[in-house]
Structure 1
Amino acid sequence: MLTLTKVTGLDLCLACVGVYLLKQVFKKKNPAYPPGPPGWPLIGSVLDMPNVRPWLTFTEWGKKYGDISHIEVLGQHIMALNSLETAMDMLDNKSAIYSDRPVLPVAGELIGWRNIMGFLPYGDRLRRHRKNFHHVIGTRAAVGVYNQVEEMETRRFLKRVLTTPDQPQAHIRHTAGAVILRISHGYEVKENNDPFIDLADRVMYHWSRATAPGAFVADVIPFLVKIPEWFPGAGFKRLAREWHDTLEELVSAPHKFVLDQMAAGIAPESFTSNLLGGGTLSADEEHDVKWSAAALYSGASDTTVSTVHSFFLAMTLFPDVQKKAQSELDAVVGSDRLPSFADQDSLPYVGALVKEALRWHAVVPTGFPHCVSEDDVHDGYYIPKGSLIIPNIWFMLNDPERYADPSQFNPERFLANDGKTPETEPRTICFGFGRRICIHLAEASVWLSIAMSLAVFNISKAVENGVEITPEIDPLSGTISHPKPFKCSIKPRSAKAVALVEQDANY
């Protein structure tokens, strides 16, 4: 007669070990993973994953381990790329398998960013979003339709800076939001305390924090999202619920504004009204319209804010660059009018300055992670399906082998002077890899803000109690990195400049 014996915990553990050993014996042998920090038994490299200025840690890994560094965090493989050529080979040239996006349990699922284009997996919905974008901002010609909106709002920006020059970052944010909301929803913002601008600022701050590498432990230990909010250590769930509600409001409130305007027959032309005006939409189609418009804001506004703010920092620290750009503006444009997009090709130094602003401060220092959709072997290294691929954009823009003296703000590196070959075009790096939908709109906004500001303002170090204050170059952490808050002095260049700024911004 068969006797049933009690199965103990030790029996189960031994059985699991046995199964694991059998799998190790019989599983298919793959090439080695790329090198990286060795990690610890059971938990892997969970303690090595940085959450503050991760680009600096990735750079140190690159020096030690090479172009691709690998860590494994509780079964999740993560590859940090420290080479432009490697990033382009993998993320651009092999985009068919490297274009997927990771599922971020907190940012994507709990907060709700899974619905926005940057988080969508490859498929029909992503293709619909891209199609929506391409018609509106997919080419320079398409973006050119909004030149008048850009010029009008940038004139208003100059007026705000002239009136309260001690608040440049607030004015930059207001202007970027005003441009995008006019394009996305036909909404004209209020001069002060606009509800949509304030809402969008909060949402973009949340997004930058929530999507940064290592932001939440639950992103690498997904089962933590199942624990109740009251459980010790579950404060992230309460935070995610608050951020979810704010995101939903940003997506829905401007969309309702457009629907109400269309019902009243007074809706101005916009990205949203154009997409809604083609007849009755299904629930899925309207969902795509709402989230495409939200992606338009998130994709172009905060990057513009960061770059233009870093431009003011650079002009404070590098006055000789400012003087050269102003000399070119004075010679080409003169002092009787403001520069416009029509002057762009005639202002090569200003154009090079814009490129250097994009390079000198990496707006998205670690890009946004890609996810490989099938096993791959790259440069002899095994990249398993599901691996997160993080390009270290900050290092690529500060690589001393590519950019001479990278800490210096030097626009001339992008000019072919004295037979010198210009250094690598930063736009191929700074906007990330794969499809870069918002690149044309962001570049146009940055160029105009910089050209107009240089034409009418002198930017210099602030003086307090007779002492000059030298700002610190200290980029903040986040998916979108902003310069550390700093003080500077902004004064009109002349009485003529004041008159130009005070002209009716609606011209």
Structure 2
Amino acid sequence: MTSNTLASFVIDRNHSTIDLLVAVSGVLLYFALKQLTTPHAGQSLPLPPGPPLKPFIGNILSVPRDGQWELFTEYKCQYGELIYLHGLGNKILILNSMEAVNDLLDKRGHIYSHLPVFTMIGELMALEQSMPLLPYGKEWCDHRKLVHAALSPSAIKYHPIQEELAAMMCKDFLDNPEDFFSHVRLTAGQIFLSVTYRLTVGTADDQYITHAEDTMAVIGEATVPGTFLCDLLPIFKYLPSWVPFQQEAKKGKYMIDHLVTMPFNQVKREMLGERQAIILDNAVKYPATEFKLERFLDEPQTVLYPLILCPGKHLGENSVNVLITSILQYFNILPPLNGELAPAFGWHLLRSEAKAELLWCTVVAYDT
């Protein structure tokens, strides 16, 4: 090794060491500034209990990626209804009972309506425009009015669509009972796409359904604490694009954007006369949302982003699956159900307005 090569090696090594020291110093400076700028007025008040702390990282990494609800159920028996997790600058309060949820988020919602900031899913994947992540304020209230107008229980105009698709699902159960999971997936996707965009799909493997499921899987993984380092150290969001989590963020951002624009562009191509998406109908009908048609056509994300995390499709799909599983597991609920349905309707198609007469069926549905 020549003297010039050795000198170059030493210089490169020194540069690497300096870069490492600068990065570490930046992280330490970030935490120091955050500690200095954080109000400490309530520091003397005791915080809720939580799992044991570890040096530097606290206890936030004690939450697994899968089955968090099972661990939180165990924590409720051990620590109570309120559980406090923190570490690496992040603080999480887990509400482990409906009483705590209603007390803090309903009765005192004007105080605790601020939503957490997710660096990965919110900033890097650009989902901060969605209603579950949108900061409480005028824009959030406008979107809430729009969603309430379109999806409130009073919107009975959706019932014929649901009745028709439910009847088709029951027929599919009889024709191909071995594929009943696919039938439920298809029906849930059909209801969501029909109500939101008035689009129709024929199979559970349609691109609209599969892409939505893949996107929700990416979103679900990205919201788990500790999955990505940038959520623990937000300053890392400025790292270059070749860093692995930046590649994941780029992929997730594309999938989320495609989830909105793919069906929207299809509707836009077919929008003739009455062929308009229902969410567009409601947005035009309720000017209180300050909805602008031109802005919607140019930037569909401004209206549709707040809706894509609404749990409509997955909630309906999971509810039907749980109901079927419960009926198969607890056969004793079948006789009362049949006893209530058969005398009143026989083999006739059920209608939504008959729900008031089906008390036992309603109780079973609510329990599901």
Question: Would the TM-score normalized by the shorter structure come out above 0.5?
Answer: yes
Match for 1:67: what amino acid? E
Give, in whole Å, the separation in 1 of the partners of 2:70 and 2:58.
21
Q: Is the 8 A contact 1:54 1:213 kept in 2?
A: no
Equivalent pairs: percent with the same residue? 26
Aligned partners of 2:358, 2:40: CA distance in 1, in Å? Answer: 61
Q: Is the 8 A contact 1:272 1:290 kept in 2?
A: no
Of 253, 257, 260, the residue aligned with 1:248 is 257
**Given the alignment of the two structures, is residue 165 of structure 1 paired with residue 177 of structure 2, yes or no?**
yes
Q: TM-score, normalised on structure 2?
A: 0.81
In 2, Cα distance between the equivalents of 1:343 and 1:310? 23
Q: Deviations over 1:296-334 (max 9, x none)?
A: xx4311111111111121122111112321221112222
Q: Find 1:97's aligned residue among 111, 135, 139.
A: 111
Q: Which moved more, 1:250-259 or 1:37-46?
A: 37-46
- Counterparts of 2:216 and 2:56 in 1: how far apart (Å)? 36
Matches within 5 A, 1:47-446: 47-138=61-152, 140-142=153-155, 144-191=156-203, 193-231=205-243, 234=244, 236-262=245-271, 264-265=272-273, 267-268=275-276, 270-275=278-283, 280-282=293-295, 286-295=300-309, 298-335=310-347, 337-357=348-368
Answer yes or no: is the 8 Å Cα contact 1:39–1:71 preserved in 2.
Answer: no
Cα gap change, 1:96/1:274 in structure 2, threshold over 3 Å: closer, same or farther?
closer
Larger RCO (alpha carbons 8 Å, 6+ apart): 1
Please say if residues 166 and 187 of structure 2, whose CA atoms lie closer than 8 Å, have aligned partners that are also in contact: yes
Q: Secondary structure at the match of 1:224?
A: helix
Equivalent residues, number? 332
| Structure number having the greater strand percentage | 1
State the shift of 1:208 in Å. 2.6
Deviation at 1:81, TM superposition (A): 2.0
1:342–1:276 Cα change, 3 Å: closer
The amino acid that maps onto 2:159 is: N
Partner SS for 1:100: coil
Distance in 1 (CA, whole Å) between partners of 2:100 and 2:240 is 42
Deviation at 1:285, TM superposition (A): 7.4
> What is the one-letter code of the residue matched to 1:245?
Y
- In 1, the alpha carbon distance for the partners of 2:109 and 2:280 equals 29
Is 2:82–2:95's contact at 8 Å kept on the other side of the alignment?
A: yes
Question: Gaps spanning 5+ residues in structure 2: where?
Answer: 1-20, 286-290
After TM superposition, give the deviation of residue 237 of structure 1 in Å: 3.1
Counterpart residue number, 2:56: 42
One-letter identity of the residue aligned with 1:72 = H
* Distance change (3 Å), C-alpha of 1:271 and 1:76: same
Whether the aligned pair in 1 keeps the contact of 2:198 and 2:276 (CA below 8 Å) is yes
Please report the RMSD computed on the Cα atoms of aligned residues, expressed in angstroms. 3.0
TM value normalised by structure 1: 0.60
Pair 229,86 (structure 1): closer, same or farther in 2 beyond 3 Å: same
Q: Report the structure, 1 or 2, having the larger helix content.
A: 2
Kindly state the Cα deviation for residue 229 of structure 1 after the two structures are TM-superposed: 4.9
Cα distance change of structure 1 residues 121 and 269 upon mapping to structure 2, 3 Å threshold: closer
Q: Where does structure 1 differ by over 6 angstroms across 4 or more consecutive aligned residues?
A: none
